[in-house]
Structure 1
Amino acid sequence: MVKIAPSILSADFANLERDIHRIADADYVHVDVMDGVFVPNISIGIPVVASIRKVTDMPLDVHLMIVEPVRYVEQFCDAGADLVTVHVEADTQENIRAAIDKIHAKGKRAGIVLKPKTPAAAAEPFLQDVELILVMTVEPGFGGQKFMADQMEKVAALRRLIDEKNPACELEVDGGVAPDTCRACIAAGANVLVAGSAVYKAADIPARIAELRG
């Protein structure tokens, strides 16, 4: 079954606990962490993740859009993240591997993220060491952007690599996922879909989550 990970970037931050409970039918809570350096926006950090952990038992899928993530992955794990993903573009290959190792040492799942211009081949050095690969289908940094359909070729290429080398690894897509784009993601091989505004702006959130599962 396709998993849905609503992004709280589209939630009402003044009523975050309420809005997390509204997505109880989903599989993950997707938490976008931005530092204003790796991406041109600033969002939330470690204290907010710790606060979220207190109000939900849902797995927290924490997407770090920050430079040198190896500096902070342990703190996010300690704050309650279940899955921490880091961008391959955010540091050297050696340091990204160190970040993955630190996440695993905390007993949590680790993943890598590819920006739209980053080829599928960039995931190969880490493929057998991670539990999830995330493909961005918008430029990271802001919600509500238009879905990049040309990224489906990359998703399909990664699906083939995963099936060959690490079948247990999940393949996630983030950016512009909505009822009119989710099926293309699923057809290309994604099994986890991140959706922000498509979920939180829906009149019936449980129905929208079910619709996005394809």
Structure 2
Amino acid sequence: MTFDRSIKIAPSILSADFANFGKEIQSVEAQGADWIHVDVMDGHFVPNLTFGPPLCAAIRPHIKTVMDVHLMIAPVDPYIQAFADAGADILTAHLESGPHVHRTLQAIRAAGCKAGLALNPGTGLEDLPYLLDMIDLVCVMTVNPGFGGQKFIHSQIDKVKRLREMIGDRPIHIEIDGGITPETAPLMTAAGADVLVAGSAVFKGGSVENPAPYGANIRAIRSSIVAA
């Protein structure tokens, strides 16, 4: 993965057809997706239960872009190697998931993955200066983690602006996860984000038999940013 700040759309497979993950991924990549976002939830750190390392390993051969794995789990450290072995390019852990986040980021990099750090809507940026040299991506949650299809939390726009200033010229992506639509995408890219996770906004109206709406939805998000 080479670093650049071009806008990347990362469809979340949480909104895909669970019985057709391989074809869904191929379809959405063919329609213009830049990354594939995998939301891992444990029913403990967040109130939902989704995917584990075997699922990630099963879909890895179908992903030709970037496998962006978001670990909404606690504890996180015991599972880092398994998700790395399953083929994750980026592993993102939550600042709130444990007391030793620096160690977690070290472990992710030691496992051969890019290290992401996710922040819940209620979490500030105070800890970031001590971690920036360990981070390849900061994921700002613009909904409370655990479910797709939630309403965008506008207070996070200012957080992203401050985060962008803090990062400066470091090669760190700012990813937005939650409530991304053609209405909210321009707000976040103007604030400094370069990776947009979108679930229902990408997958709505389409299917593996009719993937054209995926492309239309991705283009609508991109067009809204250009227009703004």
TM-score (norm 2): 0.89
Aligned to 1:189: 192
Aligned to 1:60: 67
Count of residues in Structure 1 that have an aligned counterpart in Structure 2: 210
Aligned to 1:7: 12
For 1:76 and 1:169, locate their aligned partners in 2 and report how far apart those are by CA, in whole Å: 21
Contact 1:5 1:195 (C-alpha < 8 Å) held by counterparts: yes
Q: Please point out which of 82, 86, 108 is paired with 1:79.
A: 86
Q: Please point out which of 47, 56, 60 is paired with 1:49.
A: 56
Aligned to 2:155: 150
Contact 2:68 2:91 (C-alpha < 8 Å) held by counterparts: yes
CA shift, 1:205, in A, is: 1.2
The root-mean-square deviation of aligned C-alpha atoms, in Å, is: 1.2
Query: Aligned partner of 2:176: which letter?
Result: V
Which runs of 5 or more residues in structure 2 are unaligned?
1-5, 207-212
1:135 aligns with 2:125: no
Contact 1:112 1:123 (C-alpha < 8 Å) held by counterparts: no
CA shift, 1:167, in A, is: 2.1
Query: Aligned partner of 1:193: which letter?
Result: L
Relative to structure 1, is the Cα distance of residues 184 and 202 closer, same or farther in structure 2, using a 3 angstrom cutoff? farther
Aligned to 1:177: 180
Aligned to 1:35: 42
3-state DSSP class of the match of 1:22?
Answer: helix
1:103 aligns with 2:112: no
- Cα displacement string for residues 3-57 of structure 1 (whole angstroms, at most 9, x for unaligned residues): 0110000000011111111211111110000001100110111100000102222
For 1:146 and 1:56, locate their aligned partners in 2 and report how far apart those are by CA, in whole Å: 28
Aligned-residue identity in percent: 47
CA shift, 1:202, in A, is: 4.3
For 2:166 and 2:186, locate their aligned partners in 1 and report how far apart those are by CA, in whole Å: 21
Q: Please point out which of 94, 100, 125 is paired with 2:130.
A: 125
- The list of structure 1 runs, each at least 4 consecutive aligned residues, that deviate by more than 6 angstroms after superposition, is none
TM-score (norm 1): 0.95
For 2:65 and 2:102, locate their aligned partners in 1 and report how far apart those are by CA, in whole Å: 27
Aligned to 1:198: 201
Contact 2:36 2:63 (C-alpha < 8 Å) held by counterparts: no
